[in-house]
Structure 1
Amino acid sequence: MLDTSQGDAAPPTPADERRGCLFALSQPPLMIFLAVIGMLLLMASVHDLFLL
């Protein structure tokens, strides 16, 4: 017969694995990358608006 007892449950998930996308967005390399992309977009829009 199969043993279906709930004797030893799985260990709880660590807090690191349950963090969502806000935690991922707060990582420094990603923030630097997004800042560089944002600055490039800002420079392109300022160039288009004021210099063309």
Structure 2
Amino acid sequence: MDCAIIAREMLDTTQPDTTESHAAPPKDEPRGCLFALSQPPLMIFLAVIGCLLLMASLHDLLLL
């Protein structure tokens, strides 16, 4: 399923046909910060960092 996303977002290097003078502009999907945050590797990384911070804060509060 990730391959379809990568293939769709690849740069199109084909030359446009010069016989058609009224070619439609390509549709770009607007994407914001929430799209970047929804990526699984980033979410795993943020979860690991969050768990480490939580463990460190609990250690400081309860054991020191």
Q: TM class by shorter-chain length?
A: 0.7 to 0.9
Q: Are 2:38 and 1:11 aligned?
A: no
Structure 1 residue 8: Cα displacement? 3.6
Q: Secondary structure at the match of 1:35?
A: helix
Identity among equivalent positions (%) equals 80
Query: Where in structure 1 do 4 or more consecutive aligned residues deviate above 3 Å?
Result: 7-10
**TM-score, structure 2 length as denominator?**
0.60
**TM-score, structure 1 length as denominator?**
0.72
Show structure 2 runs of 5+ residues with no match.
Answer: 1-20
Count of matched residue positions in the alignment of Structure 1 and Structure 2: 44
One-letter amino acid of the counterpart of residue 45, structure 1? S
Bigger RCO of structures 1 and 2 (CA < 8 A, at least 6 apart): 1
